[in-house]
Structure 1
């Protein structure tokens, strides 16, 4: 079974990005950063989601992100699915923090339960087949709307969503040009998917 072993964000300022992700989300080993000045405008075609246990944790992470320099895109709000909000990191990446819980059951914390990379694709069914052919195992599938793959031992789960629907969920316009500014690690051999997302050959970092 194939799965994500690393996420690399391409950023203009690595030191600034490291400070942001450590201070905002406490992420260090889960993300890799690489210097890039590749042109990129508008929606980059993906979002990264942090799922947490309760609404208070959503608020704690959103507050920390804003304090670290993020821009609010969608303020935290209740929905039929739970509670969540969206911010844009200084490097341009969109982050959604959400929970399926409706009520708080413990003191607020910044503990993250899961990280999900959501790729916005033009044809969910075609991309689902492409990834299945490249060794990923489908975990959940909702027709041509949404597909989620098994994550194996990875801290990051991969999911596919229609590009326009993903942009709407994130609170941004779907148009965008240039580089995705992200690379996905885990491929036995490097490849690029139908929507231009590049996969690289990487392994999971050894745990201390």
Structure 2
């Protein structure tokens, strides 16, 4: 089961957002849609997008492309115990992490990514896990009250839950934020609003907008 059919990002500047996501995800990405919104929002919006790639060179290539397309660097790409990665903030305010578990390049550098993950920062991981399980989502991985990943097919957006403060710390921003998430999810859980006020709509046929 694929829980997410599309991520809908609500943006103030549709032209700038379209340029950014077309550059980073490709011009025909079927899983991200954009729509205009002026809803008030400040600080951390409680979610991040994560692109998992095969090697460090791909991380650098995607981050360079993202910055050229208007992103602001939040964490420079660097090595860590788990691999190599960096974080940028898109022109619309969405935070995007680009990372790999590989320590070195093993092939030609590209801007391709292997996994596209939506991480929701939630106050109570166990409660949110119960909520989504009750809406028919199948749990793929679960680490107590710290992290949950839902099962999804190859090539689809993967949904995961993480503690809000831990997620903010991971991407290098304060955890505080108010107003709209500027995010709507289209998929099997909808229509509904989860315990952290992330809104889902009923699944609709995919059309590329980014």
TM-score range, shorter chain: over 0.9
Q: Give the equivalent residue in structure 2 for 1:34.
A: 35
Find the residue that maps to 2:96 and give its secondary structure: strand
* 1:21 and 2:21 matched: yes
What is the Cα deviation at residue 152 of structure 1?
3.3
Q: Give the equivalent residue in structure 2 for 1:73.
A: 74
Q: CA-to-partner distance for each residue in 1:74-130, whole Å, 9 max, x for gaps?
A: 000111111110000000000000011111101210011110000000000111111
Q: Give the equivalent residue in structure 2 for 1:182.
A: 183
Kept in 1, the 8 Å contact 2:6–2:32? The answer is yes
| Aligned counterparts of 1:65 and 1:188: Cα–Cα separation in 2 | 31
Q: Give the equivalent residue in structure 2 for 1:159.
A: 160
Alignment of 1:1-208 (within 5 A): 1=1, 3-26=3-26, 28-152=29-153, 155-187=156-188, 189-205=190-206
What is the Cα deviation at residue 25 of structure 1?
3.4
Paired residue total: 207
| Aligned counterparts of 1:153 and 1:186: Cα–Cα separation in 2 | 16
Find the residue that maps to 2:21 and give its secondary structure: helix
Runs (4 or more) in structure 1 with deviation over 2 Å come to 27-30, 203-207
Q: Assess, with a 3 A threshold, how the Cα gap between structure 1 residues 59 and 189 changes in structure 2: closer, same or farther.
A: closer
Q: Assess, with a 3 A threshold, how the Cα gap between structure 1 residues 198 and 154 changes in structure 2: closer, same or farther.
A: farther
Q: Return 5+ residue gaps in structure 1 as ranges.
A: none
Cα RMSD, aligned residues only? 1.6
| Aligned counterparts of 2:190 and 2:6: Cα–Cα separation in 1 | 15
Kept in 2, the 8 Å contact 1:3–1:154? The answer is no
| Aligned counterparts of 1:206 and 1:18: Cα–Cα separation in 2 | 14
